A = this chain, B = another copy of it.
Amino acid sequence: MKLKSDKDEVTLKDIAEVVGKSVAAVSRALNDYDDISPDTRAYIKQVAQEMGYKPNLLAQRLQKRATDSLGLILPVLSPRNADPFFSELLGGIANEATTQGFDLLVSTCTQGDEENQAYSRLIEGRRVDGIIVAHPRWHDTRISLLTEQQFPFIIVGAVLPELKHLCVTDDVTEGATQIVNHLIAQGHTKIALINTTLDLISSSNFLAGFQKAMLNAGLTINQNWLESCNTTPKDGYQTAQLLFSRVETPTAIVTADDVLALGVIAAAHDQGLEVGHDLAVTGYGDILLAEHSHPPLTTIERPTYTLGQHACRLLINRLRNQSLGPETVLFKPSLVIRQSSDLALWL
């Protein structure tokens, strides 16, 4: 026999009745106000503990007009699409959010109208206090919307040219340069690029890094060898086939994404090319499979999980302390050389 049914939650009022004090006193005691005597405070805390009191978050949130939640909207190219970047980013964000006592609200949308609706839903419903925007684009309507509404947000995956926002990213330009320099050091001169879709700011960064390294080495960039596509194996496969159909073909293909690169490798195999020997292929991101593809993929290690953690932390800091100005965190990329681009490693 229980005093309270399992379903009835203990409230401040219940505690107040037991200890014979006002609800306010109980609240203040539990929140460590110093205008409650130490004895009473200890007693109240003990009773609260014994009664199994858990504050009602909804009431607290209504009171302080904050949701203690962050929003993340995942872009969905197709139902079957599952970009490891987002899962890993999500991991970092979710972990940090929990640490900071925040909830993470995730929703999905396809690009286009649905995307703006998804953002409006979060903002207008005041479902979250801040939003994390991944992979910003040129003329990004999400960012316009958030800026217009003066809604707190942080960008992951590129630094906006205006420099007036919170941004966390790895240095994609630098990463691209490192990759290309590595290929040049391997003796390659005929280097192709398969970039991610050009609306992404990061794709421009990647291109910039690519160009910089090529020009620096005095190499010309063949416009027939510049392509871009979505980050799926299939797209990588098809775009590689396109390159193979050119009259002149490259000896190395630089890609801006690992998943895409795995598609390129598959295409090369089907073309009868031995990757790492006849053709060098590189990726970006160092997903788990990069190490265990055939051959293992040369790529740039991107601290995706850490990116998520930092983005989350920075955004929460911003929410807690209005005074902070724009801030940018840039992670240095590191090159991971594997057989797909290195003859010396090839047996």
Hey, which bits of chain A sit against chain B, CB under 8 A?
A: 6-7, 9, 54, 56-59, 61-62, 65, 67, 69, 74, 76, 79-84, 86-88, 90-92, 94-95, 97-98, 103-108, 118, 121, 124-127, 149-150, 232-234, 236-237, 259, 262-263, 265-266, 269, 287-289, 291-294, 296, 305
Contact = CB atoms under 8 A, between A and B. Distances in A.
A259 to B, nearest CB: 7
Given A76-B91, A107-B98, A125 B294 contact: no
B266 A292 contact: yes
Contact of A265 (B61, B237, B294): B294
A277 to B, nearest CB: 14
23 contacts: A6-B150, A54-B126, A56-B62, A56-B126, A62-B62, A74-B91, A76-B91, A79-B91, A82-B84, A82-B88, A82-B287, A98-B107, A98-B118, A104-B105, A104-B106, A104-B107, A105-B105, A105-B106, A233-B288, A233-B289, A233-B292, A234-B291, A262-B289
A293 B266 contact: yes
Contact of A81 (B67, B92, B94, B288): B288
A209 to B, nearest CB: 24
A91 B73 CA distance: 10
Contacts of A57: 125-127
Contact of A80 (B7, B79, B124, B288): B288
Contact of A79 (B92, B124, B262, B289): B92
Nearest to A234: B292
Contacts of A91: 74, 76, 79, 81-82, 108
Contact of A87 (B58, B82, B92, B294): B82
A89 to B, nearest CB: 9
Contact of A94 (B83, B92, B107, B124): B107
Nearest to A79: B305
Nearest to A104: B106
A148 to B, nearest CB: 9
Nearest to A296: B266
A327 to B, nearest CB: 23
Contacts of A87: 82-84, 86-87
CB-based closest 9 A-B pairs: A82-B87, A233-B292, A79-B305, A266-B292, A94-B108, A58-B62, A82-B84, A87-B87, A106-B106
